[in-house]
């Protein structure tokens, strides 16, 4: 069933990612891409099979069993490391973000970074639009490729209708950018490039709006807490008009209690609870080799209430969900290094399908690991359908399921002690290979992010929307001064920062 789901998702993903103009051509492109992928995968599997036969000359297993063992090995091993990273980072991140000043520092860095990414995406989309418009201009109405060009033109027109505020700026033609009109495949490539550039720009814009909005709300929260005696413990927001009447006063007081007092305390309690759950999971994983000693908190709880089905389900559900959250948290961290990330209101179908395939890929290994933790002495329904974990990885022996969790525990402790960060900092050139964690953004405020926030605050007080007039035009300048008589219009006011420049334009 898992293979069927993954195959369907892979084909659908390739179909969504293709830039072809007909369903049949998009399906052909998807099948071709997946065929190449599975041929490479099959070749690697063949090498592994040959190696297995050389190591175990009396091996009599089936090819299907070998393929399932490889799949289980990949899921169990990589899933263990993903789980270990999440067990350490999630409680630490929630605890640190409960502190308002720390969260402000993190957001200032995030805003500065996303502004540069937004600038790059804006430039890339502008280039793609210029290429598409130039290709359309030089193409005659009788050109065989004209119907395909009309589809791309309609795509551009729709984009400008949906977002009239977008203004392409600085678009340039490359050396081979006028070669898209040769055949249908080249036109499909142009369409795919334009769509991907558009998706990337709006994804970064959505992240920018999310971070800026959170930072402005946090500023409001801190101001309300500082002025609580003067305001009568009522919350005053910059994002809406003041509430009126007796009910308005009650709602303002309730909002103040939530944002300024309760939310912070709940985050700290949640971090402590998750920290305890992480410690319990690590203890259970570390003591699996001690078959006569059961130190698994979840095993003890489930055994104590085994006569009550409802409590059994509750005690099994909570830790299993937490393990899933930790694993997928790490998985999304990896996805954010590429393009496969969840973005508010801007997650493309390709991203959703990729995330879906990864969730399907890691769901069985997480379940295997959890069953391992609770140490049941009877076969579960899951094991009847999927097989026992002892038979999942025959290459490494029957006790592999007790050894690999111990490796994960050691890895988690190293992550929690920042061991890898120290190693990467010592070898400076290795920094590109490490996870970007929020703890790196707590060392002071980023001047770029602070200046962008100040400008957004000014516009918000003038009645404008967040991010409504921000047009990123340049970046990575130091000590730049805009002189009178330059090419910039009078209505454009530059925000000069240490790491980037974000030019903001206001309506006349």
pLDDT tens digit sequence for 4-21: 555 656 676 677 667 777
Q: What are the residue ranges spanned by the domains of the chain?
A: 1-60, 109-211
pLDDT on residue 260: 94
- Nearest residue to 402 (alpha-carbon basis) of 381, 378, 373: 373
Would you say residue 501 has pLDDT above 80? no
For 272-302, how does the pLDDT look when each residue is reduced to its tens digit (9 = 90+)? Answer: 999 999 999 999 888 877 766 778 888 888 8
For 141-175, how does the pLDDT look when each residue is reduced to its tens digit (9 = 90+)? Answer: 888 888 889 989 999 999 999 888 888 876 666 66
pLDDT on residue 493: 37
Q: What is the mean pLDDT of the chain?
A: 78
Confidence tier at 397 by pLDDT (50, 70, 90): low
In the block, residue with structure tokens 């063949």 = 46
For 356-370, how does the pLDDT look when each residue is reduced to its tens digit (9 = 90+)? Answer: 777 877 888 888 888
Would you say residue 495 has pLDDT above 60? no
Alpha carbons 128 and 139: distance in angstroms, whole number: 17
Confidence tier at 42 by pLDDT (50, 70, 90): confident
pLDDT on residue 134: 87
Confidence tier at 94 by pLDDT (50, 70, 90): very high
Would you say residue 483 has pLDDT above 50? no
pLDDT on residue 500: 38
Taken in order 197, 201, 202, 206, the sign of the CA dihedral is: positive
pLDDT on residue 471: 57
Alpha carbons 335 and 330: distance in angstroms, whole number: 9
pLDDT on residue 480: 37
**246 is written with which tokens?**
């007796």
pLDDT on residue 489: 33
pLDDT on residue 499: 37
Would you say residue 497 has pLDDT above 50? no
Mean pLDDT of 477-497: 35
Alpha helix (H) residue ranges in 60-99: 63-97
- Highest mean predicted confidence (pLDDT) among 4-8, 325-329, 378-382: 325-329
Mean pLDDT of 342-369: 78
- Nearest residue to 120 (alpha-carbon basis) of 162, 165, 180, 170: 170
pLDDT on residue 63: 63
Alpha carbons 420 and 422: distance in angstroms, whole number: 5
Stretch among 140-144, 227-231, 307-311, 428-432 having the lowest mean pLDDT = 428-432
pTM higher than 0.95 for the full model?
no
Check residues 412 and 395 and name the one with the higher pLDDT. Answer: 412
For 407-454, how does the pLDDT look when each residue is reduced to its tens digit (9 = 90+)? Answer: 888 989 988 888 877 787 777 655 555 555 555 566 678 888 899 999
- Nearest residue to 476 (alpha-carbon basis) of 504, 491, 498: 498
**13 is written with which tokens?**
């993903």
Q: 197 exposed, middle or buried (CB, 10 Å; 0-12, 13-18, 19+)? A: buried
Give the number of C-alpha atoms closer than 13 A to the C-alpha of residue 70, restricted to the C-beta side: 18
**360 is written with which tokens?**
């399907």
Would you say residue 78 has pLDDT above 90? no
């Amino acid at each position: 069933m898992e293979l069927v789901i993954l195959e369907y998702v892979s084909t659908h993903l390739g179909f969504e990612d293709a830039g072809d103009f007909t369903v049949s051509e998009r399906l052909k492109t998807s099948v071709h891409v997946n065929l190449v992928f599975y041929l490479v995968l099959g070749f690697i599997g063949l090498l592994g099979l040959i190696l297995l036969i050389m190591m175990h000359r009396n091996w009599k297993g089936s090819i299907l069993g070998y393929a399932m063992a490889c799949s289980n090995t990949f899921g169990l091993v990589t899933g263990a490391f993903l789980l270990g990273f999440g067990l350490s980072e999630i409680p630490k991140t929630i605890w640190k973000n409960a502190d308002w000043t720390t969260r402000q520092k993190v957001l200032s860095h995030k805003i500065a970074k996303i502004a540069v990414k937004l600038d790059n995406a804006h430039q890339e989309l502008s280039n793609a639009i210029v290429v598409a418009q130039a290709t359309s201009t030089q193409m005659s109405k009788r050109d065989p490729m004209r119907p395909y060009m009309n589809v791309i033109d309609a795509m551009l027109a729709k984009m400008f209708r949906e977002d009239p505020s977008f203004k392409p700026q600085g678009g340039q033609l490359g050396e081979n950018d006028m070669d898209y009109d040769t055949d249908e495949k080249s036109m499909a490539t142009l369409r795919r490039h334009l769509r991907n550039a558009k998706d990337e720009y709006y994804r970064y814009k959505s992240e920018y709006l999310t971070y800026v909005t959170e930072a402005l709300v946090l500023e409001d929260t801190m101001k309300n807490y500082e002025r609580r005696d003067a305001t009568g413990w009522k919350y005053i927001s910059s994002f809406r008009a003041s509430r009126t009447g007796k009910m308005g006063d009650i709602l303002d007081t309730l909002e103040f209690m939530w944002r300024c007092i309760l939310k912070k305390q709940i985050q700290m309690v949640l971090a402590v609870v998750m920290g305890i759950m992480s410690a319990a999971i690590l203890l259970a994983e570390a003591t699996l080799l001690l078959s006569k000693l059961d130190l698994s908190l979840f095993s003890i709880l489930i055994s104590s209430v085994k006569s009550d089905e409802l409590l059994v389900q509750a005690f099994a559900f909570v830790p299993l969900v937490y393990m899933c959250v930790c694993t997928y948290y790490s998985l999304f961290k990896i996805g954010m290094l590429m393009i496969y990330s969840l973005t508010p209101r801007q997650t493309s179908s390709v991203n959703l399908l990729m995330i879906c395939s990864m969730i399907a890929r890691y769901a069985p290994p997480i379940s295997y690991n959890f069953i391992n933790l609770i140490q049941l002495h009877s076969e579960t329904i899951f094991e009847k359908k999927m097989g026992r974990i002892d038979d999942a990885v025959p290459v490494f022996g029957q006790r592999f399921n007790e050894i690999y969790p111990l490796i994960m525990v050691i890895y988690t402790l190293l992550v929690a002690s920042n061991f890898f960060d120290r190693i990467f900092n010592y070898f400076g050139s290795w920094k590109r290979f490490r996870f970007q964690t929020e703890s790196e953004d707590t060392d002071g405020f980023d001047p770029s992010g602070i200046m962008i926030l100040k400008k957004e605050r000014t516009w918000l007080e003038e009645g404008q929307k967040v991010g409504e007039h921000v047009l990123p035009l340049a970046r990575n300048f130091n000590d730049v001064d805009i002189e009178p008589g330059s090419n910039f219009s009078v209505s454009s006011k530059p925000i000069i920062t240490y790491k980037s420049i974000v030019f903001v334009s206001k309506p006349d």
